[in-house]
Structure 1
Amino acid sequence: MSRNKSWNELSVVSRWRIAVMGITQLTLQFVALRDLVKRPAAEVRGAKSAWAAASFINFLGPVAYLVFGRMRRVK
């Protein structure tokens, strides 16, 4: 069984991929949590606290909230 590579053993391309994926994850989570804080509870499907906890699940949580957790605002 091979061991995991350390950061210094990764190629430059691999390091960039990891950095981009990390930044994307943090951005999605920031957007989801910011929307949760600003959106009234009546416009959220389910409990806001549950969606906030779900936002910590990599990619899936924030995307699920942004797609399924919000109700469209009627203007």
Structure 2
Amino acid sequence: MACKKCPKKRWKDLSKGAKYAIVLAGCVQLGLQVAALRDLSQRTPAQVNGSKSTWLAASFINFAGPIAYFLRGRKKE
């Protein structure tokens, strides 16, 4: 719930630094997700800890999903 004393900021109200940080974070998130999805698609179910469909869904959780996949989802070869 938004604070009545804190009006919503619009994109045009943000500083250049804040805009840059948001775009950079979005690019990092997208890069992590693409990398996780690509890696997941190239692995067999035997090479993945747990269900591939579960990791597929988890990859859509911002930052945490793809990072968790790379740390816990892939079996060490």
Which letter does structure 1 place at the counterpart of 2:16? V
TM-score, L = length of structure 1: 0.94
Partner residue of 1:14 out of 15, 18, 30:
18
Q: Which runs of 4+ in 1 moved over 2 A?
A: none
TM-score, L = length of structure 2: 0.92
Of all paired residues, the percent bearing the same amino acid is: 48
Once residues 48 and 58 of structure 2 are traced to their aligned partners in structure 1, the CA distance between those partners, rounded to angstroms, is 14
Within the alignment, does 1:53 sit opposite 2:57 as a pair? yes
1:1-75 correspondence runs (5 A): 1=4, 2-73=6-77
Q: Deviations over 1:36-63 (max 9, x none)?
A: 0001110000000000000000000000
Q: Unpaired segments of 5 or more residues in structure 1?
A: none
Once residues 29 and 66 of structure 1 are traced to their aligned partners in structure 2, the CA distance between those partners, rounded to angstroms, is 11
